[in-house]
Amino acid sequence: MEEPMDQDTSKGRSPLEQDLTCSVCLDLYRDPVLLTCSHSFCSECLKNAWKSNLKKCPLCKAAFEGEQPTPNRALNDTCESFRREKQWQNRQNPAQQSICRMHGDVFQIYCMKDQELLCPKCVTQHPYHEIVPLQDGLTYCKEQLDFKIKILEKKWRLYKNNTKSFTNTKEFIEHQAGQAAESIKAEFQRLHKALDAEQEARLQALAAEEREKTGTMVAMVAQANEGIASLTPIIQNLKREMGDEDVTFMQKFPLLKDSAQWPHEDLQHPPGALLDMGKHVGSLGFNIWKNMQAHVKYNPVVLDPNTASPWLDLAPDLTSMKESQQRQEVPDNPERFDPCVFLMGAEGFSKGKHRWDVVVGDNPKWMVGVCAESLARKKRFTVSPKRGVWSIALSKGVLTALTVEPTKIEVLTRLEKVRVKLDMDKGEVSFWDGGTLTHLCTFNHKFDEKMFPLFGPGLQSTPMALAPGKMVLHTS
């Protein structure tokens, strides 16, 4: 049984609070542990009591060599509940908040480590802690809280700006969806018109052949009817003559035999009389698709508007770009180049061979190449393989391969079209004169991430465009 506490230390405490008070530190238990003698102490209090290597119970002096105390979770939970109850009572009765419930003295000092108000008698329970006057503690608490408030206010402003930015982005997405829907509808209308024209042409060809073939059959029927009309009186006359007397019939026989001759050839079905069904309905879908190629344009690369600098204006079909007269109101999404006036292709490549042509025209300044997907978008940088860019550029009339140390490329004629060849498996990107197919330069690198076409059209009013690719139909 625990010894009764000193009358002074228990002054003003309820019986429950006394039962929840450690007999060593005279404060509510903190992380209490239980000994086999049934006495409980704060974990830190027992550790300090056993520093002399004499492991005895501070109350009953029972020895505990080689024994480890057991955490008293039930007592710990009860103490925590009591602390919360005391805090609630203090909030309900503010007049008592300035008085130490344990010792009954006024709070005059502050423990910086435990961040607790103390009266002079509480100091013994906070050995080696930094203790400061109440006013200094108040200043420290306010400074700490003011620092936290500034951080929270900064985050509040950030969230406020995010709300506006995200709302604008939502509206831009809706605008993009509207544009895409209009483009899809217009393209389908165009293709439907071409399909309707193809259908009409095929139906007209079918009707023309039907008229021709049925006309032939009508003519054949007419010839057959003419033959019937001619043969009918001949047959009737011969039958009538055969009814004469035998002598008379025999005398007329030579003449009758001559009149029974039919000088015309028999009618027969002409070859190719039926419709050519294979021509009209054989592989119909494939033949329609083959003819539709004349109405379809193929681009091996299209532009990604989500990466385009705000100073670039893209064509609706995403195949050309030029300077925008003013900075466009577009979301500052992480994929977008800003401040660099660049943009990327919509599709990246991880393997295989790829080729595309870029029409640079007479623009005095431009850059064409490929870049790594991880290329920085939100800061200026020097274009080179070290930055993840393999490209060539024209500036001030000089064509340059943008190697680590830029290399001048000699050309005999003005470059109007650039062909880019990317071989991911071989680790090679080469540049060619798209008009004369003259080789300009080649970069070799082991590409370890997805590569994208990269374009720097410069701030020019003349568009830089992507040339359509050739479509070749292979069948087997």
What mean pLDDT, rounded, does the chain reach? 89
Lowest pLDDT segment from 121-125, 242-246, 324-328, 355-359: 242-246
pLDDT by residue (tens digit) across 310-320?
999 999 999 99
Query: Greater confidence, 184 or 104?
Result: 184
Q: What is the pLDDT of residues 222-276, one digit of tens each?
A: 999 999 999 999 899 988 888 878 888 888 888 888 888 888 888 888 999 999 9
d(CA 437, CA 435): 6
Give the Cα separation of 347 and 345 in Å (integer): 6
Secondary structure (3-state) at 59: coil
pLDDT exceeds cutoff 70 at 383: yes
Q: Where are any strands of DSSP class E within 373-416?
A: 389-395, 398-401, 407-408
Give strand ranges (E) for 287-402: 312-314, 320-323, 343-344, 353-359, 366-372, 389-395, 398-401
Which residue from 300, 292, 234, 224 is spatially nearest to 468, judged by alpha carbons? 300
pLDDT at 277: 93
Q: Is residue 96 over pLDDT 70?
A: no
Closest CA to 449 of 375, 338, 358: 375
| pLDDT for 3 | 40
Helices of type H across 267-390: 277-281, 284-292
Cβ–Cβ < 8 Å for 260, 234: yes
pLDDT of residue 191: 94
Mean pLDDT of 286-294: 89
Residue pLDDT, tens place only, 50-94:
886 678 888 888 888 777 889 999 999 999 888 888 777 666 655
Count of CB atoms situated within 10 Å of the CB of 49 = 16
The most distant pair of C-alpha atoms in the chain lies apart, rounded to whole Å, by: 175
What are the contacts of 264-270 at 24+ separation with CB within 8 A? Answer: 264/227, 267/220, 267/223, 267/224, 267/227, 269/220, 270/216, 270/220
What end-to-end distance do the CA atoms of the chain give, in Å? 100
What pLDDT is attached to residue 6?
43
How does DSSP assign 198-217, residue by residue? HHHHHHHHHHHHHHHHHHHH
Q: Is the dihedral of CA 378, 379, 380, 384 positive or negative?
A: negative
Cα 425 from Cα 330, distance rounded (Å): 36
Write down the pTM of the prediction. 0.65
Distance between CA atoms of residues 465 and 134, nearest Å: 74
| CA distances for 31 relative to 13, 128, 467, angstroms | 21, 20, 76
CA atoms within 13 A on the CB side of 268: 6
